[in-house]
Chain A
Amino acid sequence: MGLTLRSVLTALVSLVSLSQGISLTGPRTLLILEDEVKGQFQTLISDLEARGFTTTIHTPKSTTLTLFQHEERVYDNIILFPTKLKGLGPNLPSSSFLKHATAGGNLLVLLPSSSDDNVPTAITELATQVDIFLPPKGFAVVNHFDPADAIEPEHDTLLVDLPTYPSDTKNYFNTGDDKSAKLLYRGAGLALGNSPLVQPILKAPRFAYSYDTKESSSFADDENVFSAGKQLVLVAGVQTRNNARITFVAGADLLADKSFTKVAKTNLMSGNRAFAKDVTAWTFKETGVLRVDGVEHWGEEFGKDVVNGDVYRIKHDVTFSIALSEYSYDHFEPFTAPSDDAVQLEFTMLDPYYRIQLPASSSPLTQHKNSTTYSTTFKTPDQHGVFTFAVNYKRPFLSNVHEKRAVTVRHFAHNEWTRSWGISGSWPWIAGIWVVVVGWIGFVGLWLWSKPVVAEGKGKKKQ
């Protein structure tokens, strides 16, 4: 009965997910834009719709727009397109976006590419709240060293390589066919704070800089440079603690139709369209989402007969394994940690006392076909108490994995200790005891049955 109910449910769920699309958050996407802006982003929007997102369009000033109904999110994803307005409408304060993210919704913010355009204060506020800092109006990034167009003297359209990351970070932003494609970028740039939740997705070229076009048109002095080089970020992603994602694109043209074109300098297609797909896919949780498919642990004591038991013994082998899979557009696939990264297991009692690598291993968890099993065997410490198996896997661009299983680690029972004869240092002492025992028995025998050997007649010996 239960089985049939479950299979019916599974079928229902899969049906629903098929019809609803593919983002793990959901397909309902709100586009906040003015009509004249829509024409610039046709490809982006149609690409999203082709991937199963359903779009709803509202203008920033819309009075009918509401992000929450009955305290429930109305939209799963929001894209804020650049606007000429100084402020967004009364229904879109910065707190509404934060509330949306707190409820698990995703947000993609496109900032204007032109230094003449305003950034609404709600967006500046929102950025500050997630540790991203926007330059004031009038700033633009230029790169004299590799301008997109050699003829243009302004140098404000940048050619940027597709992003690469250190070898311990997964690259979700270079999935296009042409890995060496250049991105066309125009905009003001961002600076990031120290929060581990905010990650640079795309950084400026080494010698590019963002300067105040109004104040320092003839010379970029210290006062009027916002940031430069690798400290200057063009696209930044925030993943909140509840795994909602907020992405800031500092120049909206990066995702606009006019950038999905050939790069004049190389005469090759720009990588912008593929990059736009990658950025939206990450922001709307089509990529970089991890799922824990199973956690199992067992001890040497009972073997695999007792899996996920809650008592272990000190100084005994314990095997822990966790199965992880990763979402990729429309399905889960085995998650492989980057080469220089590692899934780590912590064995904690308030503090972690063990932190050990969980290498990917052949799976004893045969029931999880679409996941990678990370497993290790270790000896429990010489300390009893309540310990926790914790996998705290937080990495840039990946949703957080924080699995905890509390178990008791008991001490040895009185009859589980090593016996005294098993300890070589005790041998002389044990021998001493038995020497005394045998000596005493012998003494008793002699005392009972010994015949005095004193010569006859010399009198009897006093006791």
Chain B
Amino acid sequence: MLIVSVVSVGCWMLDVGCWSVRTRQCGGAAQSLGSHKTRNPNDISHSTNVTTAQPHPSSSPSSSSSSPSKPVMKFLSTTSNLLAAGLLLCQWVSAATPSTWTFADATIQISQKGAEAGPKQKFTPTSPISDLLSLKTTDSLKILLTTKEGDTAKRPHQLFLFVKDTASELESFFAFDVKESGKARLDLTQKDIPTALLTSESLSLTLALGSFGQSTPLSVEIAKVTPILDAAAKKALPEPPLKYQKMNEIHHIFRAEPKSPPKIISLVFLVAVIVCLPGLFGAWFTLSANVSHLPKSLAASPIAHPVFFASLLAFEGVFFAYYTQINIFQTLAAAAIISPVALLSGSRALREVRARRLNGER
């Protein structure tokens, strides 16, 4: 049985789906909602229907085509007393007439470890506990009830508490401890509940009560419990196991895109920088800078001065070309051609400037 408990805790993640099978199977509750509506677990969780699944075949949910079978079934149910008396007497089914499994004196109690036990809350098959219970890490939940077949207290073969995560539809079960007198007891602490259910927002507790023979079994949602995990328990929760399914999308960004300041700011500073140029020339000319000696220079050295100045412009032109088009080798070649021109013409031009200085014209 060790394996059983390990496994039944183990295979949670596999079992997320397929609940619509179950909801259709579980009798009245789901049927009353219509199977297509049961996609939303909330529909189920808010309806605390008492489910008395019909053992008689006329409860087949979807088949309009079951009508041919109905006369037979009617015959069966009307003559069930006879049949039971005749056929089932020898069997160990005790009830001669089909009755209903039910329970009485049912209470639920949450008590904290080391503290006073909480109030006993009563519930019946028709009135489940309406307020949401909460189960803290150290709390234990105790359910006491007496099972009855019809009016007589009796032990059924099955008395399980099904604990279901209303969101994921995962469900686990706990068997009650039942005496032959029908007195049943279940103690449930948080650590008994599989971890996959503990992360749930709300667990619905459903009582399933049934036995062999003709008596109608009973399933009823008795309460809703919110498990509250403390920080340590939260940390101890294991990773959910790997499941083959669609995975989360990833859009990794290695580095952010480079950003520029708003264009308007760049433009303001651009204008500010450009304005400096006329400012500079303006300042020079107000400080009496001029080009009055140009004709004189050209007359003195008509080749050197223009060539020198042109070679300087050519240098800038080469640099501009390097910036926009040509590569470093073309740039060096161009510079190698311009340099001697600039050197020779420069020395001639500067000689003329020196002559002017020596004449006291500068």
Contacts and interface: CB of A to CB of B under 8 A. Distances in A.
- A in complex with B: yes
Interface of A: 133, 135, 142, 144-147, 150-151, 153-155, 160-161, 163-166, 168-169, 180, 191-194, 196, 198-200, 203, 205-207, 209, 211, 218-231, 264-268, 340-342, 344, 346, 352-357, 381-383, 394-396, 423-425, 427-428, 431-432, 435, 437-439, 441-442, 444-446, 448-453, 460-461, 463
Contact of A428 (B210, B241, B273, B313): B273
A161 B219 contact: no
- Of all A-B residue pairs in the complex, the 3 with the closest CB atoms, nearest first, are A144-B210, A166-B17, A267-B69
Interface string B237-266: 000011111111111111101101101001
B160 A209 contact: yes
Given A164-B18, A198-B14, A230-B19, A355 B294 contact: no
Contacts of B93: 153
Contacts of B292: 449-451
Interface in B128-170: 155-158, 160, 162, 169-170
B291 interface: yes
A209 B4 CA distance: 12
A441 B174 CA distance: 95
B56 A150 contact: yes
Most buried by B among A144, A211, A431, A441: A144
Given A153-B213, A193-B11, A145 B22 contact: no
Contacts of A435: 273-274, 276-277
A342 B248 CA distance: 11
Contacts of B175: 220-222, 225
Interface of B: 1, 3-4, 7-8, 10-11, 13-27, 53, 55-57, 60, 62-63, 65-66, 68-69, 72, 76, 83, 87-88, 91-93, 155-158, 160, 162, 169-175, 177-178, 208, 210-214, 217, 219, 241-255, 257-258, 260-261, 263, 266-267, 269-270, 272-274, 276-277, 280-281, 284, 288-294, 297, 305, 309, 312-313, 316, 319, 349, 353, 357, 360-362
Contact of B312 (A133, A383, A444): A444
A161 to B, nearest CB: 5
A131 to B, nearest CB: 9
Contact of B18 (A165, A340, A460): A165
Given A355-B250, A424-B266, A444-B312, A449 B291 contact: yes
B33 to A, nearest CB: 14
B171 A441 contact: no
Given A145-B53, A192-B11, A230 B18 contact: yes
B157 A133 contact: no
A441 B361 contact: no
Given A205-B22, A439-B277, A460-B360, A395 B66 contact: no
Most buried by A among B4, B69, B362: B4
A268 B11 contact: no
Contacts of A394: 244
Contacts of B254: 353, 381-383
6 contacts: A144-B212, A220-B175, A230-B15, A268-B66, A354-B250, A431-B273
Contacts of B92: 153
Contacts of A342: 246
Nearest to A353: B252
A33 B86 CA distance: 40
Given A267-B69, A355-B247, A441-B312, A163 B255 contact: no
Contacts of A221: 175, 177-178
Contact of B316 (A193, A196, A225, A441): A441
A261 B155 CA distance: 35
Contacts of B219: 145, 207
A223 B177 CA distance: 11
Given A145-B53, A353-B250, A424-B266, A229 B173 contact: yes
